């Protein structure tokens, strides 16, 4: 057993401790804290598995934004916790659930141990076709060129989720501003950080997008950082959430999927197939799509965390 393997076993044990804490905790806020810690440690697991792009995504979206959502939801639902405690299921259901979970775990564990050796892989195919776009990062190649259809549909799924969240507003508040109006002491710490951090955050976010051509990074990770900076500024009260009906915001939300769709249809008209990039223009086209994507992702993720409208548009 090598030293690295021993450390990985320790890491897996700590990750599982976080998972057990999330399920077993009596109160909700500690469970959410355990889940955020679990997600951040999982990002380390991804690094050990040789996937830095996924580690960035897990840390940013899986733990960061999801954690923000869960904490604010847990805070709002705090008054409902007491009455729910009487609904705990009886012992028989718990035992049956434990048996079922153990069965699923065993089945998955057996399939892990029985994975085929040598492992089938598409890495060689990805490497052979990497010259088609000239990008150095294979994951970006896959996301933007080989499986661009998945990425485009993912953007549309994000938009659909946002429309779903917006539609949960009461009728009279349709088109209003999401979330409460935040007030922070303008001389206080939060306002200070909301002035100092966003310039740095914007540079880091755009850098992560720019460097994803050859190094780990990507539009989603960069867009998440931009969304986080926007949320920070909103939470410090330095700016108010724009009303849901604002036209410019809706145009920004559409920019990513529309550019993607136009390039795709262009590929259909001038090339071989939908989303086929001509070899000479592959990199500029991908860059154009990615810049439109990061704007849409930043606005969409920020609005998903802000939630459905809770105030009138004029307030």
Of residues 34 through 63, those in contact with other proteins by CB under 8 A are 35, 38-39, 42, 45-46, 48-51, 53-54, 57-58, 61-62
DSSP 173: G
**Site stretch for other proteins (CB under 8 A), options 16-24, 240-248, 253-261, 285-293:** 16-24
CA-derived radius of gyration, the chain: 23
CB of 80 or CB of 269, closer to other proteins: 80
CB of 52 or CB of 242, closer to other proteins: 52
CB of 140 or CB of 259, closer to other proteins: 140
**Site stretch for other proteins (CB under 8 A), options 119-127, 240-248, 250-258, 277-285:** 119-127
**Residue list 280-309, contact with other proteins (CB under 8 A):** 301, 304-305, 307-308
CB of 161 or CB of 270, closer to other proteins: 161
Return the exposure string of 264-291: e unless at least 16 CB atoms fall within 10 Å of the residue's CB, then b. bebbeeeeeebbbbeeeebbebbeebbb
CB of 2 or CB of 247, closer to other proteins: 2
Binders of other proteins: how many residues, by CB under 8 A? 105
**Residue list 245-274, contact with other proteins (CB under 8 A):** none
| End-to-end Cα distance, the chain | 64
- State CA 232 to chain mean position distance: 17
Q: Which of 8, 129, 240, 243 is close enough to bind other proteins by CB under 8 A?
A: 8
Q: For 203-217, give the DSSP string.
A: HHHHHHHHGGGTSS-
**Site stretch for other proteins (CB under 8 A), options 170-178, 248-256, 257-265, 284-292:** 170-178
- Report the DSSP beta bridge partners of residue 178: 309
CB of 101 or CB of 270, closer to other proteins: 101
d(CA 266, CA 262): 6
39 and 20 Cβ atoms separated by less than 8 Å:
no
CB of 124 or CB of 280, closer to other proteins: 124
**Residue list 59-98, contact with other proteins (CB under 8 A):** 61-62, 65-66, 69-70, 73-74, 76-77, 79-81, 83-84, 87-89, 93-94, 97-98
**Residue list 123-152, contact with other proteins (CB under 8 A):** 123-124, 126-128, 138-139, 141-143, 146-147, 150-151
244 and 309 Cβ atoms separated by less than 8 Å:
yes
d(CA 61, CA 204): 16
d(CA 129, CA 282): 13
Per-residue contact track with other proteins, 210 to 249, x per CB under 8 A?
--------x-x-----------------------------
d(CA 300, CA 227): 8
Q: If binding is defined by CB under 8 A, does position 311 make contact with other proteins?
A: no
d(CA 92, CA 258): 53
Shortest gap between Cβ of 307 and other proteins (angstroms)?
Answer: 6
Start-end of H helices in the chain: 3-24, 28-48, 52-57, 66-76, 81-84, 91-113, 123-128, 138-141, 148-166, 189-210, 219-235, 247-270, 282-306
CB of 106 or CB of 239, closer to other proteins: 106
Shortest gap between Cβ of 81 and other proteins (angstroms)?
Answer: 7
């Amino acid at each position: 057993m090598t030293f690295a393997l021993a450390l990985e076993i320790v890491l897996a044990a700590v990750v599982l401790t976080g998972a057990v804490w999330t399920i077993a905790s009596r109160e909700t806020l500690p469970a959410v804290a355990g889940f955020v810690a679990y997600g951040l440690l999982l990002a380390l697991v991804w690094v050990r598995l040789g996937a830095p792009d996924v580690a960035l995504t897990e840390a940013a979206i899986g733990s960061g934004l999801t954690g923000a959502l869960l904490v604010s939801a847990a805070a709002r639902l705090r008054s409902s916790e007491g009455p729910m405690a009487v609904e705990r299921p009886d012992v028989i259901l718990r035992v049956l659930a434990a048996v079922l979970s153990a069965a699923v775990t065993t089945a998955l564990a057996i399939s892990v141990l029985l994975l085929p050796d040598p492992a089938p892989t598409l890495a060689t195919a990805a490497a052979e076709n990497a010259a088609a776009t000239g990008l150095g990062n294979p994951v970006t190649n896959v996301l933007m060129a080989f499986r661009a259809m998945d990425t485009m549909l993912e953007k549309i799924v994000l938009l659909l989720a946002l429309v779903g969240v917006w539609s949960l507003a009461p009728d009279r508040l349709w088109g209003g501003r999401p979330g409460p109006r935040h007030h922070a002491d303008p001389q206080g710490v939060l306002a200070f950080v909301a002035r100092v951090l966003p310039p740095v955050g914007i540079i880091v976010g755009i850098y992560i997008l720019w460097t994803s051509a050859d190094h780990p990074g990507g539009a989603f990770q960069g867009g998440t950082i931009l969304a986080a900076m926007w949320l920070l500024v909103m939470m410090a009260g330095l700016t108010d959430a724009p009303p849901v009906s604002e036209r410019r915001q809706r145009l920004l939300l559409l920019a990513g999927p529309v550019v993607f769709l136009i390039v795709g249809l262009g590929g259909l008209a001038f090339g071989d197939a939908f989303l086929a990039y001509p070899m000479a223009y592959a990199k500029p086209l991908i860059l154009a799509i990615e810049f439109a994507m990061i704007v849409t992702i930043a606005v969409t993720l920020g609005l998903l965390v802000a939630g459905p409208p809770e105030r009138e548009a004029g307030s």
